[in-house]
Amino acid sequence: MTALDIIAKHKIVAIVRLDDLSAAGNITKALIAGGIRAIEFTLTNEAAVSTIAEIVNLVDESVAIGAGSVVNADQARAVAEAGAQFVVSPVCKREVIEACLALDLPTMPGAFTPSEIQQAWEWGAAVVKVFPANHLGKRYIKDVMAPLPHLRLMPTGGVNADNLREFLDFGAFALGVGSALINKEAVAGRDWKRLEAEARRYVDQLP
């Protein structure tokens, strides 16, 4: 099963954006125990690349590990070498998409307007990250999909356990979920059961 297959099936991409990734292994295990099968480590932390290399050796083929906040081709190549199975970006840059295509990595660039979304798709995006989704709302996904039904969209930013079902009902292919899921208090307190329970709460809302 490819990373894209895993994301299509399980719908939630958990976004780990933390200043400290020393507990990445425990975070990953807790998320998996809670039913999450796609996890993204963002390059906002300089340890993310080495963390990805570590984590891909901890999980089996049912879990996809990706890199987020990738904004140039060099970063795309670095995370690919580390073993990342998908690449996410907050912006739409052709060089990132083309680098990922050359590496046979599904890429999910960020876009906001219908024109930006369609451009990302034409350049070769596997999925387009609609970001920040909290400024657009759930119905925006439905409005974009109506004239552009070929798209695969992943709303990110503002997605939580209370609204994720509606995003999916309105046509979202998958959902990027960050701080609403990765509870910083739980991580700081090394409360992995709490993090697992939070992950399960999200998974239980899926269709």
CATH code (residue 10) = 3.20.20.70
For 30-54, the pLDDT digits (tens) are 999 999 999 999 999 999 999 999 9
Which residues on neighbouring strands pair with residue 64, listed in sequence order? 38
- HSE of 55, CA atoms in CB hemisphere, 13 A: 32
For 77-113, the pLDDT digits (tens) are 999 999 999 999 999 999 999 999 999 999 999 999 9
* Domains identified in the chain, total number: 1
- Running DSSP on this structure, what letter comes out for residue 97? H
- Which residue among the candidates 11, 93, 129, 138 is catalytic per the annotation? 129
3-class secondary structure, 12: strand
Residue 122 pLDDT > 90, yes or no?
A: yes
Q: What is the pLDDT of residue 24?
A: 98
For 147-158, the pLDDT digits (tens) are 999 999 999 999
Residue 135 pLDDT > 90, yes or no?
A: no
Q: What is the pLDDT of residue 33?
A: 98
List the structure tokens of 30. Answer: 């807790």
Enclosing domain of residue 59: 3-203
Q: What is the pLDDT of residue 75?
A: 98
**Is-catalytic flag, 40?**
yes
3-class secondary structure, 141: helix
Other C-beta atoms lying within 10 Å of the C-beta of residue 161: 15
Question: What is the pTM assigned to this prediction?
Answer: 0.97
Torsion of CA 181, 25, 53, 64, to 10 degrees: -50
**Is-catalytic flag, 11?**
no
- Which residue among the candidates 40, 54, 196, 198 is catalytic per the annotation? 40
Average pLDDT on 131-160 reads 95
List the end-to-end C-alpha distance of the chain, in Å, as a whole number.
Answer: 21
Find the largest Cα–Cα distance for the chain. Answer: 47
Q: What is the pLDDT of residue 110?
A: 98
List the structure tokens of 58. Answer: 């901890």
Q: Write out the DSSP string of 184-203.
A: HHHHHTT-HHHHHHHHHHHH
